Amino acid sequence: MQFQEFKIENLEQFPKDLETMLARQLETIAGITKNDDFTYAGVLKPLQDLDEELENFFTPLSHLNSVENSEETQKAYEASLPQLSKFASQIAQNEALFEKIKKISSDDLEPKKVIENNIRGFVLSGAELPMEQKKELEEISLKLSELGNNFSQNLLDATNAYELIIENERDVEGIPESDLALARTEVEGKTVYKFTLQAPSLMAYLTYGPNRGYREELSRAYATRAPQNGEVIDQILDLRFKKAKLLGFESYSEYSLAEKDASSTAEVTHFLEELGRLARPQAIEELAELKAFAKRVDNIEEFRGFDVGYYSEKLKKEKFDFDNSMTKPYFEQSKVLSGMLDVVSELFAVEFKAVEVPVWNEKTQPFDIYKAGELAGRVYFDLEARKEKRGGAWMHNWETHFTDASGEQHLPSAFIVCNFSPSTEDTPSLLRHDDVVTLFHEMGHGIHHLFGTCSEHSVSGVNGVAWDVIEFPSQFLEAFAYEKPILKRFAFHHETAEPMSEELLNKINDTKNYQAALGILRQVEFSLFDFNLHKALFQGDEVQELLNGIRETTALLEVPEYNKFQNGFAHIFAGGYAAGYYSYKWAEVLSADAFFACTDESGFNQEKAEGYQKYILNKGGSEDMSSLYKQWLGREAEVESLLKLYGIGV
């Protein structure tokens, strides 16, 4: 079967069309529920077909609202959310369907997992609750979905509302020309520089901007975005706590683990605290070195948070004779993308071919994927920052590989979205090395979905994969963005076509673990804040007090009182990572261990790569990741591999 065409013919009409589809699906579900067919093929097969139909229809709107945000997309999206929430609640409260599914059994691995997941999903959706509590749960789910969208929209609006205009050329000295070209504009016939809170612009000034006052101003503006989100957070936390209690859990953190790889809240907390403890001594040394450097070169007595990026880059330059601006001219977006696709092609025996199909933005690049000469999937790359796109980088799965109830095979598709420096008429899109890492990371998510070969929709690709191991394939692939043989494929100067020198290639690898312990402490801080925040009910000032308490061991610099980091923490309040941000580090144990298993002195072990594709990528959510990992390597992942990856205690 060929792919869906990306289009929404009428945004105004979309909620009405959705309403019609959902009503028709409810009728179909009612028919499945009432008939005498108690087989897997007669019940769960057609139900999964409905899932695919709904995802195919709704994903273009949710995607468009993220990448081409407008009043029209917001209106259609916000009108659709209550319908979807109500629809999910109606299915969750369908007791007859729940009872029917409980009677279905299968000896086949994939259907068995689908049955197990469905029963657990019903229980976690309140199927076993009395009617009054079911209604309460439905109202909570609806409100949470609205609040998450409000949080995200408030953040986007606040990000777009701010700009800093710099007139003096001295205040932009040292900023790479590719960044200056994007900032340069004219106001009343005078050339000035405009910096915003969008990631490429913000990072350019915080990393290279020489005016300390402007760095503080930008940092303060970023840390005080969307103050109205404080109230949204209180409402979200209150409703999440109520939801967990209704379902019989002590806390939302405990509720979140019901569908994760980790076994208990104590296990997660211990893992994070231990990781922080191991990283802290080296982090203290890294910060002391940075403070001493800032004192020596600029006589900075009181080193502050907004100084970190600037002096870290300068110290890196002095220590390694290296900074990100040295590599940026060599990482032209189109060449990096092409090179990465070549690497994936060789590792996993696939081929990518550019294809002309409808897209949402002229800079979007779609590719069809071929395996053994046969069409196997489609991927869309939307890589450049623009005002209408929300910040960050992500993979959004659209269609899924599976076999439907009529025996027809469907192929997968996905979107890879980043916010790299945009190209202009004069300058191509040039990437920092950490942008290259980001692209590999998101592609790791992409191939996890696109290389899925399961027949059952709800466990194919990224579907059904536990949230705390979903980052494993993305982090695994990003590790290769530091390898010299891989970088050599696409690191050519965008003007002279000269290949990157051996010296510079070596420096990328040499600086990989620069300030690694500080980076780990920062991630531990975010993760502990998220997980502990959802272990009880925190409201108002208690949220800040909890964060301050965690920072006593994780933040080695004093954080200013105006900093309201939580108001911009979209991952946990609008992005699905609630009580799950720890997943990044949890999954990184797997990815680090897998990376060392797949590399040896001669380079990449092709046999291990084939095993990785067969056991990890192809099987999606059809089995628990811990089981798949053991099938692949014959053992569990070792935490020491993570420390080894970062050069800590090694």
Quick check: 307 and 215 in contact, CB under 8 A?
A: yes
Distance separating alpha carbons of residues 138 and 613, to the nearest angstrom = 39
CA separation (Å) from 54 to 136, 181, 292, 531, 620? 25, 43, 57, 32, 20
Residue type for position 630: K
CA–CA dist 277, 271 (Å, integer)? 10
Q: Report the C-alpha gap between 350 and 344 in whole angstroms.
A: 7
Among 442, 456, 478, 588, the one annotated catalytic: 442
Q: Which residues contact 234 (CB under 8 A, 6 or more apart)?
A: 539, 540, 543
Contact 85, 145 (CB under 8 A): yes
Chain-centre distance for alpha carbon 223: 21
DSSP state of 3: P
Cα separations (Å) of 395 from 117, 441, 637?
23, 9, 25
Secondary structure E strands in 126-178: 163-166
What's the rounded Cα separation, in Å, for the pair 241 and 501?
Answer: 55
Q: Is 442 a catalytic residue?
A: yes
Helix orientation angle between 40-67 and 109-124, rounded to the nearest 10 degrees: 70
Task: Write out the two tokens for 522.
Answer: 């920062």
DSSP state of 613: I
Rounded to 5 degrees, what angle do the CA atoms 537, 565, 523 make?
85
The three-point CA angle 395-231-564 to 5° equals 70
Gap between the Cα atoms of 135 and 242, Å rounded? 13
Any idea which residues carry the catalytic annotation?
Answer: 442
